[in-house]
Protein backbone atom coordinates (compact mmCIF):
# COMPACT_ATOMS: atom_id res chain seq x y z
CA UNK A 1 0.00 0.00 0.00
CA UNK A 2 1.42 3.36 -1.08
CA UNK A 3 -0.32 6.72 -0.79
CA UNK A 4 0.60 9.50 -3.20
CA UNK A 5 0.28 12.90 -1.57
CA UNK A 6 -1.73 15.46 -3.55
CA UNK A 7 -0.76 18.29 -1.22
CA UNK A 8 -2.51 20.50 1.28
CA UNK A 9 -6.01 21.26 0.02
CA UNK A 10 -7.43 23.37 2.86
CA UNK A 11 -5.80 26.12 4.90
CA UNK A 12 -7.65 27.07 8.09
CA UNK A 13 -9.71 30.21 7.40
CA UNK A 14 -9.16 33.10 9.79
CA UNK A 15 -12.05 35.32 8.68
CA UNK A 16 -15.12 33.25 9.62
CA UNK A 17 -15.64 34.79 13.04
CA UNK A 18 -16.10 31.51 14.87
CA UNK A 19 -12.57 30.22 14.18
CA UNK A 20 -9.10 31.73 13.93
CA UNK A 21 -6.92 28.62 13.50
CA UNK A 22 -6.76 24.87 12.85
CA UNK A 23 -8.77 22.54 10.62
CA UNK A 24 -8.51 19.18 12.34
CA UNK A 25 -9.94 15.66 12.16
CA UNK A 26 -11.43 15.83 8.68
CA UNK A 27 -14.41 13.52 7.97
CA UNK A 28 -15.68 12.92 4.41
CA UNK A 29 -19.38 12.50 3.57
CA UNK A 30 -20.40 11.68 0.01
CA UNK A 31 -22.73 14.19 -1.66
CA UNK A 32 -23.19 13.15 -5.27
CA UNK A 33 -20.12 14.10 -7.27
CA UNK A 34 -18.64 15.91 -4.28
CA UNK A 35 -17.78 15.16 -0.68
CA UNK A 36 -18.61 17.34 2.27
CA UNK A 37 -15.60 17.48 4.60
CA UNK A 38 -16.29 18.24 8.25
CA UNK A 39 -13.45 19.68 10.34
CA UNK A 40 -12.78 21.20 13.75
CA UNK A 41 -11.74 24.87 13.81
CA UNK A 42 -10.53 26.69 16.93
CA UNK A 43 -11.40 30.10 18.31
CA UNK A 44 -8.99 32.49 20.04
CA UNK A 45 -9.32 30.51 23.30
CA UNK A 46 -8.47 27.21 21.59
CA UNK A 47 -12.04 25.86 21.70
CA UNK A 48 -13.05 23.78 18.69
CA UNK A 49 -16.32 23.96 16.80
CA UNK A 50 -17.34 21.89 13.75
CA UNK A 51 -17.60 23.39 10.28
CA UNK A 52 -17.43 21.96 6.75
CA UNK A 53 -16.54 22.56 3.13
CA UNK A 54 -17.19 20.67 -0.10
CA UNK A 55 -14.68 19.30 -2.59
CA UNK A 56 -14.48 17.01 -5.61
CA UNK A 57 -11.49 14.77 -4.74
CA UNK A 58 -10.67 14.60 -8.44
CA UNK A 59 -10.28 18.40 -8.43
CA UNK A 60 -8.93 19.09 -4.94
CA UNK A 61 -7.78 22.60 -5.76
CA UNK A 62 -11.39 23.85 -5.84
CA UNK A 63 -12.81 24.23 -2.35
CA UNK A 64 -16.52 25.05 -2.26
CA UNK A 65 -19.21 26.08 0.22
CA UNK A 66 -17.18 26.69 3.38
CA UNK A 67 -19.69 27.06 6.22
CA UNK A 68 -19.92 30.60 7.51
CA UNK A 69 -21.20 29.42 10.91
CA UNK A 70 -20.44 26.25 12.89
CA UNK A 71 -22.65 23.24 12.21
CA UNK A 72 -22.11 22.13 15.79
CA UNK A 73 -21.28 24.71 18.45
CA UNK A 74 -20.06 24.42 22.03
CA UNK A 75 -22.37 22.70 24.47
CA UNK A 76 -24.07 24.65 27.28
CA UNK A 77 -22.08 25.68 30.32
CA UNK A 78 -21.26 22.70 32.52
CA UNK A 79 -21.99 20.09 29.85
CA UNK A 80 -19.59 17.41 28.66
CA UNK A 81 -18.78 19.43 25.52
CA UNK A 82 -18.71 23.03 26.73
CA UNK A 83 -14.95 23.20 26.09
CA UNK A 84 -15.03 22.12 22.46
CA UNK A 85 -16.40 19.69 19.86
CA UNK A 86 -14.35 17.84 17.24
CA UNK A 87 -15.71 15.67 14.40
CA UNK A 88 -15.19 11.93 14.23
CA UNK A 89 -17.64 10.05 11.96
CA UNK A 90 -20.80 10.63 9.88
CA UNK A 91 -23.37 7.89 9.23
CA UNK A 92 -26.57 8.03 7.16
CA UNK A 93 -29.48 5.88 8.36
CA UNK A 94 -33.23 6.07 7.83
CA UNK A 95 -33.09 9.51 6.24
CA UNK A 96 -31.15 10.93 9.18
CA UNK A 97 -27.50 11.95 9.47
CA UNK A 98 -25.70 10.86 12.64
CA UNK A 99 -22.58 12.88 13.41
CA UNK A 100 -20.49 11.15 16.06
CA UNK A 101 -18.08 13.56 17.71
CA UNK A 102 -15.81 14.17 20.69
CA UNK A 103 -16.82 16.59 23.42
CA UNK A 104 -14.14 18.39 25.43
CA UNK A 105 -14.26 19.58 29.04
CA UNK A 106 -11.39 21.39 30.77
CA UNK A 107 -9.96 19.65 33.82
CA UNK A 108 -8.12 20.61 37.01
CA UNK A 109 -5.95 17.66 38.03
CA UNK A 110 -5.61 16.75 34.32
CA UNK A 111 -5.81 19.20 31.40
CA UNK A 112 -9.00 17.84 29.81
CA UNK A 113 -11.73 15.22 29.77
CA UNK A 114 -13.09 13.71 26.56
CA UNK A 115 -16.45 12.05 25.92
CA UNK A 116 -18.10 10.61 22.80
CA UNK A 117 -21.35 12.27 21.72
CA UNK A 118 -23.70 12.27 18.75
CA UNK A 119 -25.69 14.99 16.98
CA UNK A 120 -28.45 14.18 14.48
CA UNK A 121 -29.63 16.03 11.38
CA UNK A 122 -33.15 15.65 10.02
CA UNK A 123 -32.54 17.96 7.03
CA UNK A 124 -29.64 16.41 5.16
CA UNK A 125 -26.91 17.99 7.24
CA UNK A 126 -28.11 21.60 7.05
CA UNK A 127 -28.53 21.65 10.84
CA UNK A 128 -27.59 19.30 13.67
CA UNK A 129 -29.07 18.84 17.14
CA UNK A 130 -27.58 16.83 19.97
CA UNK A 131 -29.35 13.51 20.49
CA UNK A 132 -28.77 13.93 24.22
CA UNK A 133 -27.23 16.55 26.53
CA UNK A 134 -25.14 13.70 27.93
CA UNK A 135 -22.42 11.69 26.16
CA UNK A 136 -23.30 8.38 24.54
CA UNK A 137 -20.19 6.83 26.15
CA UNK A 138 -19.97 8.13 29.69
CA UNK A 139 -17.18 7.06 32.03
CA UNK A 140 -17.73 3.56 33.39
CA UNK A 141 -15.88 0.62 34.93
CA UNK A 142 -14.99 -0.34 31.35
CA UNK A 143 -13.81 3.14 30.37
CA UNK A 144 -12.95 4.88 33.66
CA UNK A 145 -11.00 7.86 32.28
CA UNK A 146 -12.32 9.09 28.94
CA UNK A 147 -14.01 8.09 25.68
CA UNK A 148 -13.50 9.79 22.33
CA UNK A 149 -13.29 9.59 18.55
CA UNK A 150 -16.09 7.12 17.72
CA UNK A 151 -16.12 5.53 14.24
CA UNK A 152 -19.36 3.70 13.34
CA UNK A 153 -20.40 1.19 10.67
CA UNK A 154 -23.89 -0.32 10.33
CA UNK A 155 -23.93 -3.97 9.25
CA UNK A 156 -27.20 -5.93 8.93
CA UNK A 157 -28.91 -3.89 11.62
CA UNK A 158 -25.94 -4.02 13.99
CA UNK A 159 -24.21 -0.74 14.78
CA UNK A 160 -20.49 -1.27 15.36
CA UNK A 161 -18.20 1.29 16.95
CA UNK A 162 -14.44 1.62 17.31
CA UNK A 163 -13.49 4.35 19.75
CA UNK A 164 -10.68 5.75 21.86
CA UNK A 165 -10.67 4.81 25.54
CA UNK A 166 -8.39 6.22 28.21
CA UNK A 167 -6.45 3.61 30.16
CA UNK A 168 -4.65 5.92 32.61
CA UNK A 169 -2.92 9.23 33.26
CA UNK A 170 0.68 9.44 34.44
CA UNK A 171 2.76 12.36 35.69
CA UNK A 172 6.01 12.79 33.79
CA UNK A 173 8.25 15.81 33.34
CA UNK A 174 6.01 17.71 35.72
CA UNK A 175 2.80 17.37 33.67
CA UNK A 176 0.09 14.70 33.33
CA UNK A 177 0.37 12.45 30.26
CA UNK A 178 -2.68 10.73 28.80
CA UNK A 179 -2.70 7.08 27.73
CA UNK A 180 -5.47 5.85 25.47
CA UNK A 181 -6.02 2.97 23.08
CA UNK A 182 -8.78 1.82 20.68
CA UNK A 183 -11.73 -0.26 21.90
CA UNK A 184 -14.98 -1.72 20.51
CA UNK A 185 -18.71 -1.39 21.24
CA UNK A 186 -22.05 -2.43 19.67
CA UNK A 187 -25.57 -1.01 19.52
CA UNK A 188 -29.04 -1.70 18.10
CA UNK A 189 -29.96 1.93 17.48
CA UNK A 190 -26.74 3.96 17.40
CA UNK A 191 -27.58 5.67 20.70
CA UNK A 192 -27.37 3.06 23.46
CA UNK A 193 -24.07 1.18 23.36
CA UNK A 194 -22.81 -2.05 24.94
CA UNK A 195 -19.16 -2.04 25.95
CA UNK A 196 -17.34 -5.20 27.05
CA UNK A 197 -13.87 -3.76 27.41
CA UNK A 198 -12.63 -5.23 24.13
CA UNK A 199 -9.32 -3.64 23.17
CA UNK A 200 -8.71 -3.65 19.40
CA UNK A 201 -5.48 -1.65 19.08
CA UNK A 202 -3.13 -1.58 22.05
CA UNK A 203 0.28 -0.17 22.86
CA UNK A 204 3.11 -1.95 21.06
CA UNK A 205 6.17 -0.11 22.37
CA UNK A 206 7.13 1.56 25.69
CA UNK A 207 7.05 5.04 24.13
CA UNK A 208 3.51 4.81 22.76
CA UNK A 209 0.86 6.55 24.80
CA UNK A 210 -1.96 7.69 22.51
CA UNK A 211 -4.02 6.66 19.50
CA UNK A 212 -6.20 9.10 17.59
CA UNK A 213 -9.51 8.69 15.77
CA UNK A 214 -9.78 5.26 14.09
CA UNK A 215 -11.16 5.03 10.55
CA UNK A 216 -12.57 1.60 9.59
CA UNK A 217 -13.40 0.39 6.07
CA UNK A 218 -14.78 -3.03 5.17
CA UNK A 219 -13.46 -4.59 1.96
CA UNK A 220 -15.28 -7.89 1.44
CA UNK A 221 -14.22 -10.25 4.23
CA UNK A 222 -11.50 -7.92 5.51
CA UNK A 223 -11.69 -4.89 7.77
CA UNK A 224 -9.05 -2.20 7.43
CA UNK A 225 -8.35 0.39 10.08
CA UNK A 226 -6.25 3.54 9.81
CA UNK A 227 -5.40 5.60 12.87
CA UNK A 228 -2.64 7.78 14.23
CA UNK A 229 -0.41 6.54 17.02
CA UNK A 230 1.86 8.66 19.13
CA UNK A 231 5.18 8.46 20.86
CA UNK A 232 7.12 11.69 20.42
CA UNK A 233 4.85 12.72 17.51
CA UNK A 234 1.91 11.27 15.60
CA UNK A 235 2.36 8.86 12.71
CA UNK A 236 -0.37 7.11 10.73
CA UNK A 237 -0.80 3.40 11.46
CA UNK A 238 -2.72 0.57 9.85
CA UNK A 239 -4.31 -2.71 11.01
CA UNK A 240 -6.40 -5.54 9.53
CA UNK A 241 -9.10 -7.83 10.90
CA UNK A 242 -11.41 -10.61 9.71
CA UNK A 243 -14.18 -9.90 12.21
CA UNK A 244 -13.66 -6.27 13.22
CA UNK A 245 -12.84 -7.28 16.79
CA UNK A 246 -9.45 -9.02 16.68
CA UNK A 247 -6.90 -6.86 14.86
CA UNK A 248 -3.33 -7.24 13.67
CA UNK A 249 -1.25 -4.09 13.57
CA UNK A 250 0.67 -3.60 10.33
CA UNK A 251 1.96 -0.08 10.77
CA UNK A 252 4.82 -0.64 8.34
CA UNK A 253 2.18 -1.13 5.62
CA UNK A 254 0.41 2.21 6.24
CA UNK A 255 2.13 3.62 3.15
CA UNK A 256 2.29 7.25 4.28
CA UNK A 257 4.75 9.16 6.46
CA UNK A 258 6.00 12.68 7.12
CA UNK A 259 7.46 14.71 4.25
CA UNK A 260 11.10 15.86 4.16
CA UNK A 261 9.96 19.44 4.65
CA UNK A 262 6.86 21.60 4.72
CA UNK A 263 3.46 21.53 6.37
CA UNK A 264 3.50 17.78 7.21
CA UNK A 265 7.20 17.28 7.97
CA UNK A 266 6.81 16.86 11.74
CA UNK A 267 3.71 14.68 12.04
CA UNK A 268 0.90 13.04 10.08
CA UNK A 269 -2.34 12.34 11.93
CA UNK A 270 -6.11 11.85 11.92
CA UNK A 271 -6.56 9.85 8.67
CA UNK A 272 -9.99 9.56 7.05
CA UNK A 273 -10.12 7.04 4.19
CA UNK A 274 -12.94 7.05 1.62
CA UNK A 275 -13.66 5.97 -1.96
CA UNK A 276 -14.56 8.26 -4.85
CA UNK A 277 -14.95 7.51 -8.57
CA UNK A 278 -13.22 4.16 -8.29
CA UNK A 279 -10.23 5.45 -6.33
CA UNK A 280 -9.36 5.46 -2.64
CA UNK A 281 -8.41 8.71 -0.93
CA UNK A 282 -7.14 9.79 2.48
CA UNK A 283 -7.68 13.09 4.23
CA UNK A 284 -5.17 13.81 6.97
CA UNK A 285 -3.57 16.49 9.11
CA UNK A 286 0.09 17.49 9.33
CA UNK A 287 2.06 19.60 11.78
CA UNK A 288 0.40 21.13 14.80
CA UNK A 289 -2.65 18.85 15.15
CA UNK A 290 -4.48 20.60 12.32
CA UNK A 291 -2.86 24.02 12.68
CA UNK A 292 -1.38 23.67 9.17
CA UNK A 293 -4.60 22.49 7.54
CA UNK A 294 -5.84 19.40 5.70
CA UNK A 295 -4.03 17.32 3.10
CA UNK A 296 -5.24 14.75 0.59
CA UNK A 297 -3.56 11.59 -0.65
CA UNK A 298 -4.64 8.95 -3.19
CA UNK A 299 -3.85 5.25 -3.12
CA UNK A 300 -1.33 4.63 -5.86
Mean pLDDT, the chain, whole residue set: 96
In a domain, 211, yes or no: yes
Tell me, rounded to whole angstroms, the distance of Cα 297 from its chain centroid.
17
User: How far is the C-alpha of 248 from the C-alpha of 255, rounded, in Å?
Assistant: 16
- Domain coverage including residue 203: 3-12+89-299
In a domain, 139, yes or no: yes
DSSP 247-285: EEE-GGGS-----SSSTTSS--EEEEEEEETTEEEEEEE
Q: Is the pLDDT of residue 15 over 90?
A: no
In a domain, 54, yes or no: no
pLDDT band at residue 174 under the 50/70/90 scheme: confident
End-to-end CA distance of the chain: 8
pLDDT in tens, 99-130: 999 999 999 999 999 999 999 999 999 999 99
pLDDT, position 294: 98
- Which is nearest to 235 in space by CA: 214, 251, 213, 253? 251
In a domain, 190, yes or no: yes
In a domain, 66, yes or no: no
pLDDT, position 98: 98
Number of structural domains, the chain? 1
Over residues 43-67, the mean pLDDT reads 95
pLDDT band at residue 225 under the 50/70/90 scheme: very high
- Which is nearest to 148 in space by CA: 190, 99, 108, 103? 103
Q: Can you count the helices (H) and strands (E) in the chain?
A: 0, 21
In a domain, 73, yes or no: no
pTM: 0.96
In a domain, 162, yes or no: yes
pLDDT, position 172: 78
User: How far is the C-alpha of 138 from the C-alpha of 145, rounded, in Å?
Assistant: 9
In a domain, 161, yes or no: yes
Look up the CATH number of the domain holding residue 125: 2.115.10.20
Cβ neighbours around 294 below 10 Å, total: 27
Amino acid sequence: MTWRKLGRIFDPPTDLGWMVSHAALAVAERRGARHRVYFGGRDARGRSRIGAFEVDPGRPGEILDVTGAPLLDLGPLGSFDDGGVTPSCVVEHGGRTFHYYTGWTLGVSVPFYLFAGVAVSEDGGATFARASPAPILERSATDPYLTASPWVLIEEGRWRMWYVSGSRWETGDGAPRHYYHICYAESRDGLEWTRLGTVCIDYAAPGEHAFSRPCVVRDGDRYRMWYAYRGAAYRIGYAESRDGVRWVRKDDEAGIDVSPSGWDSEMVAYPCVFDHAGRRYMLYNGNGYGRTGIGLAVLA
